[in-house]
Amino acid sequence: MIKNNFVVIVFAKAPVPGDVKTRLIPALGEQYAAMLHVALTERALKTAQQSCAIAVELCGAPDVSHAFFQDCAEDFDIALTAQGVGDLGARMGRALARGIEQHTRAIIIGADCPALTAQHISGAADMLDSHDVVLTPAEDGGYALIGAKRMHADMFNVIDWGGAEVLAQQRRNLTACQLSCYEMETLWDVDRPADLIRLKALKPPLEFFWPN
């Protein structure tokens, strides 16, 4: 298998104040929470491009009409696709299937895990040589990365997206679908005000102007 024959698909919502990073709004306000989402998305795109992936794609929600998505496509010289309808599992399933068809292996990352590095992504792609699926668990009970070279129609069924049991439910589904899975090291993501402490200490630092 060609080492770099995989695509990294960055999932992100349009940075509309009040619609993104809602659990951080009490600490930052709507505008700064949206600005933080922009900074995290740009960091995720840079990280994806620093991996050895053959392609990087920004997959936007609810569609790709927002000026931020258009600017990212131009600034990063990447493909731009819409997540489309359905819950997160349905949207990820379509994106992974498309990525596998085009590039053999596909990896989805979100914009919430600035601790994820290019080395983590490349390492996940390597593990797909010997496994059907790879996951990077998150401390909150979800996951920050999912990659696949083989899929099953039921692999994302009955998952309580956003809840604390996402990873456990995903494991259950993969076992039921007889898909082999490798789990990378657990990382932290940015979801609640307490996470901002670690975010401010992140190295290299996030390109973001913190409110006073």
120 pLDDT higher than 80:
yes
pLDDT the model gives residue 81 = 97
Residue of 175, 201, 35, 202 whose CA lies nearest to 115: 202
What the block records as the tokens of 32 is: 């700064």
pLDDT in the model for residue 157: 96
Task: Count each helix (H run) and each strand (E run) in the chain, helices first.
Answer: 7, 7
For the chain, give every domain's residue range.
6-200
Task: Give the pLDDT confidence score for residue 118 in this predicted structure.
Answer: 97
Q: Give the pLDDT score at 168.
A: 98
Give the pLDDT confidence of 52-91 residue by residue, as tens digits.
999 999 999 999 999 999 999 999 999 999 999 999 999 9
Q: Which residue has the tokens 């593990």?
A: 127
175-188: pLDDT as tens digits: 999 999 999 999 99
- Which CATH number is 6-200 given? 3.90.550.10
Which pLDDT score, from 0 to 100, does residue 4 have? 80
Q: How many angstroms separate the CA atoms of 32 and 71, rounded?
A: 19
* DSSP codes of every residue in 159-185: --TTSTTHHHHHHHHHHHTT--EEE--
pLDDT of residue 10 exceeding 70, the answer is yes
Q: Which two tokens stand for residue 157?
A: 């069924």
pLDDT tens string 145-175: 999 999 999 999 999 998 999 999 999 999 9
